[in-house]
């Protein structure tokens, strides 16, 4: 069985991750996480699950040909590259500062 | 209680390739922000990584040079963390099956060779770079996706000098193999330094403190010294509980390490195998080809210079210090300069000049060919050693060929017997008292006469001939 989620656990995680979170959001997350936990518990209960190798590639095929490094391409035009960015300053994306 | 420092290093170095490790964007340093960025580097939906063969090849070269075991199957993993420098929300790196493991090399520290064991070498993508301002940060994705090789040692280094010697040795291997330009000025090398103190004779490692993102070797040295001092003071004051497993950063302005975060709170990266990158089989034939491309490495070159050319340990050490110096020396030999003579000029005149003007040997006007053109007339007795040194500086000042300058400055040595005899006769005539003194047994007057001849000829007289003629005339 996996560890129980509590309001304290969620607040502690939010604090570690520097997220501000209100009580409603804590309740919502608690519900979501309990649902996810029930699925994880169901998987954990499968017999010998620990010895099953994680499947990342469906077939045992190996690549031997890699991309040749014989040329490069021009960078994407700046207006296109930053089209989805909310704040731009001097060709760079502006984000809130998250380190001291 | 005697304390011993234990150091482990993680050295990140950007590899030399035409394009980035998973995209076809240019892998080049560019001052213009976001100018060498593709949709793959920005993690736009629908893009897929395509692994660069040259990046893998350069990584394998380094793994071979460090005597690592290389796996038959290469696997890439996702290292998940949330930070603005990471467009995908994860970094493609290697955790399950790195490109090299369990390596071992020997590094020269002073006169001793010390063994250093390599835990692993892994190929990954570099992150975007962030510039921090008062209340915001700016992201430049030019660096995102540049191939980055991380070399991780075991905690097996026991002094700051050994740590720096190891890093310099690695930088040299990068340059000798051409796997990277390894230029610290361009930020191509960054180091994380793990420092702990343990009691001398103990087998239990002390609490490890990690100093992240140290970007010069002198700062690595300074950061280790600072941590030794800080941790020693705490232990001696009975406050060892205050040494906690934490991540610190080097602060250039104060020359101290500053706490970033406690390791116990550090993020669990939730590594898992990247399903977007196929597992790659490394064929034995390819490994053989790569091995054949690896040139003779610095310590082997040094040994061959000492054994084959009888160079001193010091001279050989100076020459192999950089690949460029070593290549210059070998080019000198190829065009016929005597090895000892080449070594003497490189370690004295040439290094002195380069250091004084902060130049690199590969941007030096005096090529091996021009050095040959200075040494040839010297060895044939056409110019004196003093003139050769003058000519060396004239070539660099005027940026003209030695042959032209010998004529321009009338530097050819005076070795005509008749002319020299005339000059010597005149000097002896004008110094009769000194001649008498010489004949009365004051033999050191001989050097006085030689000096007078050199003065009269402005240093151009062939000293060997001057001595011959003088001896005959003074009988």
Q: In this predicted complex, what is the ipTM?
A: 0.77
Q: Is residue A76 part of a domain?
A: no
Under the banding of pLDDT at 50, 70 and 90, the label for residue B205 is confident
The answer to whether the Cβ–Cβ distance between A76 and B39 falls below 8 Å is yes
> pLDDT by residue (tens digit) across B373-387?
999 999 987 888 888
Q: Does B101 touch chain A (CB under 8 A)?
A: no
Helices B160-177 and B298-309: crossing angle, nearest 10°?
A: 90
Chain A residue at shortest CA distance from B42 = A81
Chain A partners within 8 Å of B179 (Cβ): none
Q: What is the mean pLDDT of residues B27-45?
A: 94
Q: What is the mean pLDDT of residues B44-57?
A: 96
In sequence order, the β-bridge partners of residue B194 are B8, B210
Is the predicted pLDDT of residue B401 greater than 70, yes or no?
Answer: yes
- Residue A45 lies in domain: 1-49
The answer to whether the Cβ–Cβ distance between A76 and B280 falls below 8 Å is no
Q: Is residue A99 part of a domain?
A: no
Is the predicted pLDDT of residue B264 greater than 70, yes or no?
Answer: no
Name the residue with higher pLDDT: B22 or B416. Answer: B22
Q: How far is CA B146 from CA A63, B12, B91, in A?
A: 22, 12, 12
Contact B91, B83 (CB under 8 A): no
Q: Which of B36, B137, B280 faces A95 most closely, judged by CB atoms?
A: B137
Sequence-separated (6 or more) residues with CB below 8 Å from residue B38:
A73, A75, A76, B20, B23, B24, B25, B145
Q: Does A80 touch chain B (CB under 8 A)?
A: no
Instruction: Give me the domains of chain B, ranges plus CATH numbers.
Output: 3-289 (no CATH), 417-473 (1.10.10.410)
Query: A74-78, B152-156, B261-265, B408-412: which has the minimum mean pLDDT?
Result: B261-265
Q: What pLDDT was estimated at residue B265?
A: 52
Q: What pLDDT was estimated at residue B267?
A: 59
Sequence-separated (6 or more) residues with CB below 8 Å from residue B125:
B20, B21, B22, B91, B92, B93, B144, B145, B146, B147, B148
Chain A residue at shortest CA distance from B73 = A62
Name the residue with higher pLDDT: A3 or B324. Answer: B324
Distance in angstroms (rounded) separating the CA atoms of residues B79 and B96 = 11
Q: What is the pTM of this model?
A: 0.80
Is the predicted pLDDT of residue B110 greater than 90, yes or no?
Answer: no
Mutate one of A3, A70, A76 to test the B interface: name it (highest B CB count within 10 A).
Answer: A76
- The rounded mean pLDDT for chain B is 92
Q: What is the mean pLDDT of residues B404-417?
A: 84
Structure tokens at B357: 């003007």
Q: Is residue A17 part of a domain?
A: yes
> pLDDT by residue (tens digit) across A60-99?
888 888 999 999 999 999 999 999 999 999 999 999 987 6
Nearest residue to B168 via CA among B294, B9, B22: B9
Q: What pLDDT was estimated at residue B200?
A: 85
Q: What is the mean pLDDT of residues B1-18?
A: 94
Contact B131, B324 (CB under 8 A): no
> pLDDT by residue (tens digit) across B420-464?
999 999 999 999 899 999 988 888 889 999 999 988 888 788 888
How many angstroms separate the CA of residue A98 from the nearest CA in chain B?
A: 8
Nearest residue to B389 via CA among B376, B374, B403: B374
Q: Does B33 touch chain A (CB under 8 A)?
A: yes
Per-residue three-class SS string for B306-373:
HHHHCCCHHHHHHHHCCHHHHHHHHHHHHCCCCHHHHHHHHHHHHHHHHHHCCCCHHHCCCCHHHHHH
Maximum CA pair distance of chain A? Answer: 57
How many angstroms separate the CA of residue B372 from the nearest CA in chain A?
A: 38
Radius of gyration, CA atoms only, chain B: 30
Give me the number of domains chain A comprises. 1
Distance in angstroms (rounded) separating the CA atoms of residues B74 and A33 = 35
The answer to whether the Cβ–Cβ distance between B139 and A93 falls below 8 Å is yes
Is the predicted pLDDT of residue B150 greater than 70, yes or no?
Answer: yes
Structure tokens at A41: 């518990």
> How many angstroms from the chain centroid is the CA of residue B9?
18
Q: What is the mean pLDDT of residues B313-333?
A: 93
Q: Does B53 touch chain A (CB under 8 A)?
A: yes
Handedness of CA B71, B74, B75, B79 (dihedral sign): positive
Structure tokens at B127: 């992150």
Number of Cβ within 10 Å of residue A41's Cβ equals 11
Q: What pLDDT was estimated at residue B291?
A: 97
Chain A residue at shortest CA distance from B28 = A72
Sequence-separated (6 or more) residues with CB below 8 Å from residue B392:
B349, B366, B374
Distance in angstroms (rounded) separating the CA atoms of residues B156 and B47 = 42
Q: Is residue A39 part of a domain?
A: yes
Under the banding of pLDDT at 50, 70 and 90, the label for residue B263 is low
Number of Cβ within 10 Å of residue A94's Cβ equals 17
Name the residue with higher pLDDT: B290 or B436. Answer: B290
Q: Does B88 touch chain A (CB under 8 A)?
A: no
Q: How large a percentage of chain B has pLDDT more than 70? A: 99
Q: What pLDDT was estimated at residue A62?
A: 87
Contact A63, B278 (CB under 8 A): yes
Q: What pLDDT was estimated at residue B202?
A: 84
Query: B178-192, B403-417, B431-445: which has the minimum mean pLDDT?
Result: B403-417
Q: What pLDDT was estimated at residue B262?
A: 65
Distance in angstroms (rounded) separating the CA atoms of residues B161 and A37 = 51
Q: Is residue A59 part of a domain?
A: no
Contact B248, B25 (CB under 8 A): no
Q: What pLDDT was estimated at residue B38?
A: 96
Q: Does B321 touch chain A (CB under 8 A)?
A: no
Query: B38-52, B104-118, B256-270, B361-375: which has the minimum mean pLDDT?
Result: B256-270
Is the predicted pLDDT of residue A1 greater than 70, yes or no?
Answer: no
Contact B100, B121 (CB under 8 A): yes
Radius of gyration, CA atoms only, chain A: 23
Contact B124, B277 (CB under 8 A): no
Q: Is residue A62 part of a domain?
A: no
Helix, coil or strand: residue B193: strand
Is the predicted pLDDT of residue B276 greater than 90, yes or no?
Answer: yes
Q: Is residue A54 part of a domain?
A: no
Q: Is residue A32 part of a domain?
A: yes
């Amino acid at each position: 069985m996996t560890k129980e989620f509590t309001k304290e656990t969620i607040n502690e995680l939010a604090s570690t991750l520097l997220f501000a979170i209100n009580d409603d959001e804590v309740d919502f997350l608690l519900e979501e996480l309990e649902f996810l936990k029930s699925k994880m518990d169901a998987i954990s209960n499968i017999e010998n699950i620990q010895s099953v190798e994680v499947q990342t590639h469906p077939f045992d095929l190996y690549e031997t040909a890699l991309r040749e490094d014989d040329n490069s391409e021009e960078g994407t035009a700046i207006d296109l590259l930053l089209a989805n960015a909310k704040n731009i300053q001097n060709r760079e994306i502006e984000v809130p500062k998250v380190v001291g | 209680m005697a304390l011993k420092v234990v150091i482990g290093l993680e050295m990140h170095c950007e590899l030399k390739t035409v394009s980035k490790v998973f995209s076809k964007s240019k892998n080049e340093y560019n001052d213009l922000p976001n100018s060498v960025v593709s949709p793959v580097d920005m993690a736009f939906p629908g893009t897929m990584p395509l692994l660069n063969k040259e990046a893998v090849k350069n990584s394998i070269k380094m793994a071979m040079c460090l005597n690592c075991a290389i796996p038959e199957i290469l696997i890439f993993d996702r290292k998940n963390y949330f930070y603005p420098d990471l467009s995908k929300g994860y970094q493609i790196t290697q955790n399950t099956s790195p490109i090299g493991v369990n390596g071992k090399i020997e590094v020269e520290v002073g006169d001793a060779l010390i063994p250093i064991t390599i835990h692993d070498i892994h190929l990954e993508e570099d992150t975007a770079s962030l510039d921090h301002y008062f209340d915001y940060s700016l992201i430049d994705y030019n660096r995102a996706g540049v191939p980055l090789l991380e070399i991780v040692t075991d905690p097996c280094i026991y002094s700051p000098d050994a740590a720096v010697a190891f890093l310099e040795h690695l930088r040299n291997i990068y340059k000798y193999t051409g796997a990277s330009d390894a230029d610290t000025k361009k930020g191509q090398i960054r180091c994380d330094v793990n420092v702990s103190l343990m009691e001398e004779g103990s087998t239990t490692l002390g609490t490890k403190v990690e100093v992240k993102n140290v970007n010069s070797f002198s700062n690595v040295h300074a950061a280790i010294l600072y941590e030794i001092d800080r941790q020693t003071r705490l232990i001696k004051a009975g406050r060892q509980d205050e040494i906690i497993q934490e991540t610190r950063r080097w602060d250039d302005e104060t020359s101290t390490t500053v706490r970033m975060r406690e390791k116990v709170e550090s993020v669990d990266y939730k590594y898992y195998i990247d399903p977007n990158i196929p597992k790659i089989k490394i064929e034995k034939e390819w490994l053989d080809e790569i091995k054949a491309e690896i040139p003779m490495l610095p310590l082997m070159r040094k040994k061959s210079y000492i054994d084959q050319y009888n160079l001193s340990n010091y001279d050989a050490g100076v020459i192999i210090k950089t690949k460029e110096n070593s290549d210059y020396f070998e080019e000198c030999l190829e065009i016929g300069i005597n090895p000892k003579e080449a070594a003497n000029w490189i370690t004295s005149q040439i290094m002195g000049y380069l250091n004084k003007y902060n130049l690199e040997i590969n941007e030096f006007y005096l090529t091996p060919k021009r050095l040959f053109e200075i040494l040839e007339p010297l060895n044939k007795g056409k110019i004196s050693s003093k003139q050769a040194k003058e000519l060396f500086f004239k070539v660099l000042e005027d940026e003209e060929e030695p042959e032209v300058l010998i004529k321009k400055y009338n530097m050819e040595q005076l070795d005509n017997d008749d002319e020299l005899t005339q000059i010597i006769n005149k000097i002896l005539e004008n110094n009769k008292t000194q001649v008498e003194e010489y004949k009365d047994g004051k033999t050191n007057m001989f050097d006085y006469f030689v000096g007078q001849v050199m003065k009269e000829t402005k240093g151009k007289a062939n000293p060997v001939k001057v001595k011959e003629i003088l001896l005959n005339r003074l009988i």
